[in-house]
Amino acid sequence: MDRGGTQGDESLSEKACRNCNMIVSGNVCPVCKTSSLSSDWSGYVIILDPSNSAIAKKLNVSVPGKYALRVR
């Protein structure tokens, strides 16, 4: 199972937004504009076309991107 984040430099690690689950490399989520991010996440899905994706609807995703399946 893929574990989020990377070893080493925290500024370069991928983090998941605690609100929308988008995986980001910066300090602010581009979707919901929050800085509530976690480096403790697992699994991910890449949504390319949210309007035609049953998975995106199930996850309440409306913006294309990489999303964590579980954020702690």
Question: Tell me, what's the pLDDT at 30?
Answer: 97
Question: Tell me, what's the pLDDT at 8?
Answer: 47
pLDDT tens-digit map of 7-59: 444 446 899 999 999 999 999 999 999 999 999 999 999 999 999 999 999 99
> What is the rounded CA–CA span in Å between residue 52 and residue 32?
21
Within a domain: residue 17? Answer: yes
- Pick the closest to residue 68 from 25, 20, 30 (CA basis): 20
Within a domain: residue 39? Answer: yes
Within a domain: residue 27? Answer: yes
Within a domain: residue 24? Answer: yes
Question: Tell me, what's the pLDDT at 1?
Answer: 54
- We report the CATH number of the domain holding residue 34 as 2.20.28.90
Within a domain: residue 43? Answer: yes
Within a domain: residue 44? Answer: yes
Q: Could you tell me the residue range of the domain that residue 27 belongs to?
A: 10-71
- Pick the closest to residue 66 from 50, 49, 44 (CA basis): 44
Question: Tell me, what's the pLDDT at 7?
Answer: 45
Q: Based on the structure, what is the number of domains in the chain?
A: 1
